[in-house]
Chains A and B, each alone.
Chain A
Amino acid sequence: MSLDVTQQSTGRLALPFLPRRGARVSVLEIFIFIVCLALAIIGLPQTLQDVAVLTFLWAGLALAWNIAGGYAGLISFGHAAFFGIGAYTSTILFVHLGLTPWIGIWCGGALAALFGALLALICARLRGPFFILSTLAAAEVVRIGALNWASLTGGPEGLSIPPVAGMTSMVFASKAAYVAMMLLFLLVVYAITKLLEGSRYGYYLFSVRDDSDAASAAGVNPLTVRTAAMALSAGLTGIGGSLFAQYFLYLDPTFVISPELSFQFGLLAAVGGLGTAIGPVLGSFLITPMSELLRSYLGNQAAGLHLVIYSALLIVVMLYFPGGIAGALTRIVSRKGKL
């Protein structure tokens, strides 16, 4: 063991070192996506289609969260605000103004990105727990705002998209269309993450996460980098929110902008492996189906039991696999490589 003189106590997450492959794609990644694509094309049984929609959507959102939380070190528990802003923007534009969601989702993403940038500019100078609390508080402000601005958002009664299938309304009769849409979203966010990881900008994020003093001594402006990372992460989350609205067709602030949703994005990413591209995907692929199936099988007999199992699994992963599933897999692969 070497003497470690760099131990820091600034409340930042200390993650194990993971070798990166930059923009190159591994066999495992290709395999996972071929399986997904095949499932989406061949078509799943009706009940599993709902699970697939959520699995792909949450994977995309966990990836988006990971850009801020995993790569830039901006652990945010306020991402539900971006999700909600995206969902409400496209829906309000459609319901009140008749603008097609095909355009509305981009407006939602842009507005969420703007809000994310603003939040980072104000809060990113806070460190560790103080930043996390400020994101949580900001999301609460948005939630309470949405609850009270009833003329725009429908307030606590919520806002519905008429369930009439059509191309302009971006509402589909077949579940398979939603499976494909969410898979496309996941693939786009994944591609963005991979490009970022292999680029100069990706390294700027890592440097700011690991030591912002050293980063600024290297000519990197931490505030600019954090703001850009948050804006990208928030914008993608906003688009995910809009897509969710098109699938669920009903929005209600207590779910769409809930802290639970923010925690979920972060936990899926953490279980899979923070700061890796494949991690959040693995996290969602493991946990979303399990939690959905547990909910449907146990929901009637033992209400809430699925949450207990879900939480226990999270604790086990956090305790024994600090690098998440991706970290554990990397360790297994590199050990095999040596034999």
Chain B
Amino acid sequence: MTAILTIDNVSHRFGSLWAVRDVSFSVERGELLGLIGPNGAGKSTLYNLIAGVLIPTKGEIFFDGLKVSHWKSHRVARVGIARTFQIPKPYRQLSVVENVMLTAFQHERSVSRARDLAIETLADVGLRDYVDVPVTTLTVGLLKRLEVARALAMRPKLVLFDEIMAGLTPTEVSTMTKFVGGLPARGITVIWVEHVLYAIMKTASRIMVLNRGELIANGEPAAVARDPAVVKAYLGEEMSLA
């Protein structure tokens, strides 16, 4: 049992609202963990806590043997946690490859080698043809892939994906699902927030469900899909995984 990330009794409060309340879980090295829940359940808040954008009101976060609860986001990124943004945040005046180079700099200090790494990563997510294109000309689907490329060019130990399927066509969803499913084999631990349930249920080895800031289920996809509390809070009807 080697947990890469441990969330220990973490809570976060916005004013009088507990966005995340007494959440505890850990993620094993090489795991692909799915995180689902209705809108406003606290998924994004939890991500922001892990990534150092927010500081927990209570509780601690440990990553790879380090206590990172009070670290700022750039410091968290430097020890190997990458993330995507639910609403893509590209550098608007840069080209596609330059957008990826900025995360590649974590690994390659030289501009030309960072460019090579960025191009390699872009090819990985199917953006090989868009290398020198202005980022503002990309469609939503391509921007989502760019977010993924930016996160992976950091060569992270842990990556937090936030709804990378939203706005994708069915073909794009199936390509992306396969791609994400292959990441643990490359030594990258994945936490994945997604509303496209069939994609995540098929790919993740474990699913956690957040509702109103609290963890209401945590287990194998099939078991979680049958859990009455999850059905009531989120799924609406029992889901068949046939």
Seen from chain A, the residues whose Cβ lies within 8 Å of a Cβ on chain B are 2-6, 14-19, 22, 198-200, 203-204, 206-207, 209-211, 213-222, 275
Contacts and interface: CB of A to CB of B under 8 A. Distances in A.
Contact of B77 (A2, A211, A217, A222): A217
A211 B103 contact: no
Contacts, number: 112
A221 B93 contact: no
14 contacts: A2-B136, A2-B138, A17-B92, A17-B135, A18-B93, A204-B102, A214-B89, A215-B91, A216-B73, A216-B74, A217-B85, A218-B105, A218-B106, A222-B74
Nearest to B135: A17
Nearest to A13: B93
Contact of B93 (A22, A206, A220, A222): A206
B51 A203 contact: no
B163 to A, nearest CB: 12
Contacts of B138: 2
Contact of A220 (B74, B98, B137): B74
A259 B132 CA distance: 40
Contacts of A19: 95, 132
Contact of A213 (B85, B102, B103, B135): B85
Contacts of A204: 102, 105
Interface string B124-138: 000000001011111
B54 interface: no
A199 B90 contact: no
B151 to A, nearest CB: 8
A207 B85 contact: no
A38 B90 CA distance: 44
Nearest to A23: B111
B122 to A, nearest CB: 15
B136 A4 contact: yes
B102 A207 contact: yes
Contacts of B137: 2
A199 B109 CA distance: 10
A200 B95 contact: no
Contacts of A219: 74, 77-78, 103, 105-106, 154
A220 B102 contact: yes
Nearest to A1: B137
Contacts of A14: 92
B165 to A, nearest CB: 15
A100 to B, nearest CB: 40
A329 B34 CA distance: 50
B119 interface: no
B94 A5 contact: no
Interface in B74-104: 74-75, 77-78, 82-83, 85, 87-95, 98, 101-103
A214 B85 contact: yes
B21 to A, nearest CB: 25
A6 B82 CA distance: 20
Nearest to A209: B93
Contacts of A15: 93
Interface of A, secondary structure class, is: loop
B39 to A, nearest CB: 18
A6 B114 contact: no
A18 B135 CA distance: 11
A215 B94 CA distance: 13
Contacts of B103: 218-219
B90 A214 contact: yes
B154 A200 contact: no
Interface string B178-211: 0000000000000000000000000000000000
Nearest to A219: B77
A186 B31 CA distance: 56
Q: Which 9 A-B pairs have the closest CB atoms?
A: A210-B91, A17-B134, A219-B77, A214-B89, A216-B73, A216-B74, A218-B103, A221-B74, A219-B78
Given A203-B102, A216-B73, 11 more contacts: A5-B88, A5-B143, A16-B93, A17-B136, A204-B102, A210-B93, A211-B89, A211-B92, A217-B51, A218-B106, A218-B150
Contacts of B4: none
B93 to A, nearest CB: 6
Contacts of B136: 2, 4, 6, 17
Contacts of B67: none
B87 to A, nearest CB: 7
Interface in B17-66: 51-53
Contact of B91 (A5, A211, A221): A211
B169 interface: no
Instruction: Give the residue among B72, B88, B92, B110 with the most A Cβ atoms within 10 A.
Output: B92
A17 B102 CA distance: 17
B239 interface: no
B140 A203 contact: no
Nearest to B147: A214
B171 interface: no
Given A19-B95, A22-B111, A219-B154, A6 B89 contact: yes
A236 B143 CA distance: 38
